[in-house]
Amino acid sequence: MKSITLIKGDGIGPEIAESVLEIIDSSGLVIDWDIQTAGADVIAKEQTPLPDRVIESVIKTGIALKTPITTPIGKGFRSVNVQLRKELDLYANVRPSYNLPGIKTCYDNVDIIVVRENTEDLYAGIERQIDENTAESIKRITRFASLRIADFAFNYALRNNRKEVCVVTKANICKLSDGLFLNCARETAKRFPQINFREILVDNCCMQLVQNPNQFDVLLLPNLYGDIVSDLCAGLIGGLGIAQGANIGTDCAVFEPVHGSAPDIAGQNKANPTALLMSAIEMLSYIGENDIGYKIKTALFETLRAGIMTPDIGGNYSCSKFTNEIIKRLRCII
Ligand code: NAI
C-alpha cells in the first residue's frame, strides 16, 4: 500500500481535502494517508505553523497532497508554503491551465504550462526595515537555481511533446537579476534545438495572455512573476477553483492547487474541490496510478459536462453535493 502525506491546512482546506479523499476512496485505490496538520491552527499547541513532523513525513513518504495554508498579510509568521518549498527543495512549480469541459470562458483551446522557479527571487521574503519609513526586499537570483529550472522546463517540454518554451522576465529593468535568469534560459535553450525558444517581458506577456492566450505553450518564469502569471492563467480557464499545481523536487513532490485558503467562503460548503482533485489526479499519475487517475478525471469531466458545478464556476451545487455527483459517475466507471 502506498503511503502519502496529506498536509491539511486551514480555510477551505479541510472541506476540499474531505471531498478529494472521499473520491479517491471510492475509486477503490487504497492509500495509507499520513495526515499532518499545519498553519495558524496548530501554533497554539506546537508554537510553530510548520512543525518538524510535517517535513519529516514528506521526507519519509516522498510525496504529499497539500491544501492551502493562510499567510497573515503584512504581518505575522513567514509563509508556511514558502518554508515548505525551501526546506524540501521543491524547486519546480508546475501549473497547467487548460479548458475543462462545460466551463464557459472567454477563450477556447487554452493549454499553457507555467513553470515557476520555486526557491528564490523576491518570494524568498528576505526583507529588512531600514528605518520607520523605509523597507527593502532582496531579489536574489542565482545561476544555479536559474539553470536548474530552465533545464526542468525544457525537459518537461520534451517529455510532454510541447513545442515551445517562452522565458518571461523584466530584464530590461532588473538587468542583473532577471538578466541572469534570462541568460541561463538562453544558454539552456541551446541544448534543446528541438524546442522553440522565445523571450518576452512580463508586462507584455500579461497583455498578450489576455488578448491571445492560444499563442503560448510552456512559460518559464522566476518565482514572483510565476506566482502572479499563474493566477492570470487560472482566470483564463474559469478561475482559481479549477487550477491545479505541483511542486517538484529531486527527492519529493508536493501536489497542491494554485489557490489560497479562500477565507471568504471557508466553512460554508461552497468551495470547489476541482483544483485539489486535479492536483491529486496528477499525483496519481506521478506514482504510476494512471488508470485510476484517468477514471477519476473522466468522472469529474462527465459531472462538469452535465452542468453540475460549484458557484465559483457558475453552478449552484455545494462542495459535498458536487462531490457526491462525481462519486456517482465514478462508481459506474470502476
Ligand atoms: P485565494 O486563492 O484564497 O482566494 C481568491 C478568490 O478565489 C476568493 O474569492 C476565493 O473565494 C476564490 N477561491 C479560491 N479557491 C477557491 C475554490 N477552491 N473554490 C471556490 N472559490 C475559490 O486568495 P487570497 O484570498 O488572496 O488568499 C487567502 C489566503 O491564502 C492568504 O493568507 C494567502 O497567503 C493564502 N494563500 C495560500 C496559498 C497556498 O497555501 N499555497 C496560495 C495562495 C494564497
List the CATH number of the domain containing 207.
Answer: 3.40.718.10
Asked if residue 309 and residue 251 are part of one domain, the reply reads yes
Atom of ligand 1 nearest to the CA of 231: 2
**87 and 113 both lie in a single domain:** no
Give yes or no: residues 225 and 124 share one domain: yes
Do 270 and 331 belong together in one domain? yes
Question: Same structural domain for residues 177 and 112?
Answer: yes
**pLDDT for res 1:** 87
Q: Indicate whether 155 and 193 sit together in one domain.
A: yes
Domain end among 209, 236, 263 = 236
- Using a pLDDT cut of 90, give the percent of the chain over it: 94
Supply the pTM of this predicted model.
0.96
Residue 30 domain flag: yes
Could you tell me if residue 101 is inside a domain? no
Residue 74: CB within 6 Å of ligand 1? no
Split into its structural domains, the chain has a count of: 2
For residue 70 and ligand 1, the question of a CB distance below 6 A is answered with yes
Is 81 in the same domain as 3? yes
What is the predicted pLDDT for the residue at 305?
A: 98
pLDDT tens per residue across span 196-206: 999 999 999 99
What per-residue confidence (pLDDT) applies to 89? 96
Asked which of 176, 203, 236 is the last residue of a domain, the reply is 236
User: What amino acid is encoded at 63 in this protein?
Assistant: I
Q: Counting atoms of ligand 1 from 1, which one is nearest the CA of 258?
A: 42
User: Counting atoms of ligand 1 from 1, which one is nearest the CA of 311?
Assistant: 20
> Which of 82, 232, 261 is the pocket-test mutation for ligand 1 (most atoms within 8 Å of CB)?
261
Domain that holds residue 303: 1-95+241-334
Q: What was the pLDDT predicted at 151?
A: 98
| In a shared domain, residues 88 and 156 | no
- pLDDT one-digit tens code per residue, 98-111: 999 999 999 999 99
Does 279 contact ligand 1 (Cβ within 6 A)? no
Same-domain check for residues 113 and 89: no
Same domain for 291 and 230: no
Q: What is the Å distance from ligand 1's center to 193 Cα?
A: 39
Residue at 190 is within a domain: yes
Residue with CA nearest ligand 1 atom 16:
241
pLDDT tens for the chain, residues 1 to 334: 899 999 999 999 999 999 999 999 999 999 999 999 998 888 889 999 999 999 999 999 999 999 999 988 888 888 999 999 999 999 999 999 999 999 999 999 999 999 999 999 999 999 999 999 999 999 999 999 999 999 999 999 999 999 999 999 999 999 999 999 999 999 999 999 999 999 999 999 999 999 999 999 999 999 999 999 999 999 999 999 999 999 999 999 999 999 999 999 999 999 999 999 999 999 999 999 999 999 999 999 999 999 999 999 999 999 999 999 999 999 999 8
Q: Are residues 111 and 32 in the same domain?
A: no
Residues 111 and 231 grouped into a single domain? yes
